[in-house]
Amino acid sequence: MKNILCIGAGHVGGPTMAMIASKCPDYTVQVVDINEERIRAWQKGKPPIFETGLEELIAGTRGRNLFFSTDIASGIREADIIFVSVNTPTKTAGVGAGRAADLHFYEETARQIREHSVSDKIVVEKSTIPVRTAEAMTRILHSDRNDVRFEVISNPEFLAEGTAVRDLETPDRVLIGGNDTSTGHRAVQELVEIYAHWVPRDRIVTTNVWSSELSKLAANAFLAQRVSSINAISAIAEATGADIDEVSGVVGMDNRIGSRFLKAGVGYGGSCFRKDILNLCYLAESHGLMEVASYWQQVVDMNDYQEHRFVSRMVRTMFNSLTGKRIAVLGFAFKPDTSDTRESPAIPVCLQLLEEGARLAIHDPKALENARRDLAGTGEERVAFCNDPYEAACGAHAIALLTEWKEYSQLDFERIYRSMERPAFIFDGRNCLDHTLLYEIGFNVLPIGKPERTRL
Ligand code: UDX
Ligand code: ADP
């Protein structure tokens, strides 16, 4: 029986290892983390992150061939294959601040692996990292040690939050990149065998290490670019009277373009898109490819612009002043079905609304705790966190819908309208409500990239 270790029990490491343990009963899978609270939650069978189907998945494997621990050293000693799935945030200080990836968690992990290893290991990069990290990792692992061999391979994860279990069970592709050497090929093959327990062989793609690392950044950049492209068109739609959903429907019918990731909104969020594009820009710049960097930078700039545009439109529509006005914010997570608020457009939107002097009443079915943390120290005396959307809307001058939770489209808007100030505004930042119905109820309705329906 082979031993797999995963360092980092977060959004990627936890679900991925649960799936491997479930599909590969012939492997023992151990997940370790420095965060004791996280590990305790996993050990109790109550994952610290919310993912549909995850609890059921670990219920069948926990204690059988899936184990959680904070004992990183002995985990490393016993492992044959080590997945590294620690966080790689954007640097906040020093060279490349705000753009380059902060690899100190990664480096720290490499040093731990080097220190505690007593046998040869395959080390698998699972987190999204800058191109050529495998090389740095290999150098750290081998410095001062000739007795054990480390083969570093890249296996980026493409799962999206909220659909992690489904994405892991039926991935579009599994990507494994290794060195073009006999040990590199052997290591790649070992990982192929693991995934082949449930993924069809033709979906398991093997490449060289650098292609694998770059492909992950490129895939996220392409996805984000589609969202920024449709958001750019949404601004033109608002100016001209076109309807962005009609436009994206038509554009997406072209087989060469495809219909997914063309939904206009208040902007993309999540831990990956911004970070990975900035990483790509930094990479391009560090190779002197300034035009390439500024091309991708525009995808981020357009996202910032869309968030900013959303608030400016609110201010303009509400008679150029939000001072003292109560705004109900519906949704704070960066997308539905997750409590994750990392890079959520709700953060800059709320901060700008506060700057305009508004009072906020924020509701989210799962992300209120994170919202509280994100807005700490930013005029909280003007922010209320509400467990009930009706309470948030009561007495509000406007509703800003920022996350398309299903329950929002099922709210009783007659009741909400009755409880609000007049004129009552709805800014639908995700185009997920019935705008005709809302207008008939009496609201002034301002969707993204569609003609507004106002009575003013
Ligand atoms: C993304 C990638 O999809 C995934 O492959 C990668 O591994 C990690 O990054 P994730 O961040 O979980 O996954 O969310 P995703 O579903 O891609 O959505 C990202 C953001 O884009 C959300 O804020 C979403 O609201 C927004 N979005 C997405 C749009 O605004 N319009 C769309 O059409 C699609
Ligand atoms: P991702 O979305 O990439 O999975 P998360 O932030 O959800 O990122 O998870 C990363 C995890 O890695 C966190 O739980 C963090 O505590 C853990 N971690 C960071 N550094 C180390 C380390 N040196 N050893 C073990 N775990 C670590």
Are 177 and 37 in a shared domain?
A: yes
Q: Which atom of ligand 1 is nearest to the CA of 430?
A: 30
Are 224 and 151 in a shared domain?
A: no
Q: Annotated catalytic, 350?
A: no
Q: Residue 149's pLDDT is what?
A: 93
Place of tokens 């480096």: 107
Are 361 and 213 in a shared domain?
A: yes
Are 247 and 343 in a shared domain?
A: yes
Q: What is the count of structural domains for the chain? A: 2
What are the distances in angstroms from CA 440 to CA 389, 410, 429, 433, 455? 21, 16, 19, 13, 11
Are the beta carbons of 368 and 344 closer than 8 angstroms? no
Amino acid found at 440: E
Preceding amide of 47 cis, omega within 30: no
* pLDDT surpassing 90 at residue 143: no
Select from 173, 199, 225 the last residue of a domain. 199
Are 149 and 285 in a shared domain?
A: no
C-alpha–C-alpha distance, residues 303 and 301, integer Å? 5
What are the distances in angstroms from CA 331 to CA 92, 328, 402, 436? 27, 10, 5, 22
Digit-coded pLDDT (tens) for 27-58: 999 999 999 999 999 999 999 988 899 999 99
* pLDDT surpassing 80 at residue 131: no
Residue of 272, 281, 350, 432 marked active site: 272
Give the number of whichever ligand sits closest to the CA of residue 12. Answer: 2
Are 383 and 420 in a shared domain?
A: yes
Mean pLDDT value across residues 182-204: 97
Q: Residue 405's pLDDT is what?
A: 97
Are 169 and 253 in a shared domain?
A: no
Are 183 and 232 in a shared domain?
A: no
Q: Residue 429's pLDDT is what?
A: 98
Mutate to test the pocket of ligand 2, among 5, 34, 36 (most ligand atoms within 8 A of CB): 34
Select from 171, 199, 227 the last residue of a domain. 199
| Strand-pair partners of 228 | none
C-alpha–C-alpha distance, residues 290 and 452, integer Å? 40
Q: Which residues contact 48 (CB under 8 A, 6 or more apart)?
A: 9, 14, 37, 38, 41, 42
Q: Is the CB of 158 under 6 A from ligand 1?
A: yes
Q: Counting beta carbons within 10 angstroms of the beta carbon of residue 314, is it exposed (0 to 12), middle (13 to 18) or buried (19 or more)?
A: buried
Digit-coded pLDDT (tens) for 354-395: 999 999 999 999 999 999 999 998 877 899 999 999 999 999
Confidence of residue 416 (pLDDT cuts 50, 70, 90): very high
Please, what is the average pLDDT of the chain?
95
Are 314 and 436 in a shared domain?
A: yes
What are the distances in angstroms from CA 103 to CA 72, 211, 215, 271, 322? 19, 20, 19, 15, 41
**Within a 10 A sphere around the Cβ of 139, how many other Cβ atoms?**
11
C-alpha–C-alpha distance, residues 51 and 37, integer Å? 18
Q: Taken in order 256, 261, 264, 267, is the CA torsion positive or negative?
A: negative
Are 92 and 140 in a shared domain?
A: yes
Are 180 and 234 in a shared domain?
A: no
Confidence of residue 145 (pLDDT cuts 50, 70, 90): confident
Digit-coded pLDDT (tens) for 239-293: 999 999 999 999 999 999 999 999 999 999 999 999 999 999 999 999 999 999 9
Select from 165, 199, 233 the last residue of a domain. 199
Percent of the chain at pLDDT above 90?
87
Which residues contact ligand 2 via a Cβ below 6 A?
7-13, 32-35, 38, 72, 85-87, 105, 108-109, 127, 271
CA of 178 to the centre of ligand 1 (A): 27
Q: What is the CATH number of the domain that holds 98?
A: 3.40.50.720
Digit-coded pLDDT (tens) for 53-104: 999 999 999 999 999 999 999 999 999 999 999 988 888 888 888 887 888 8
Give the number of whichever ligand sits closest to the CA of residue 108. Answer: 2
Range of the domain at 44: 2-199
pTM of the full structure: 0.94
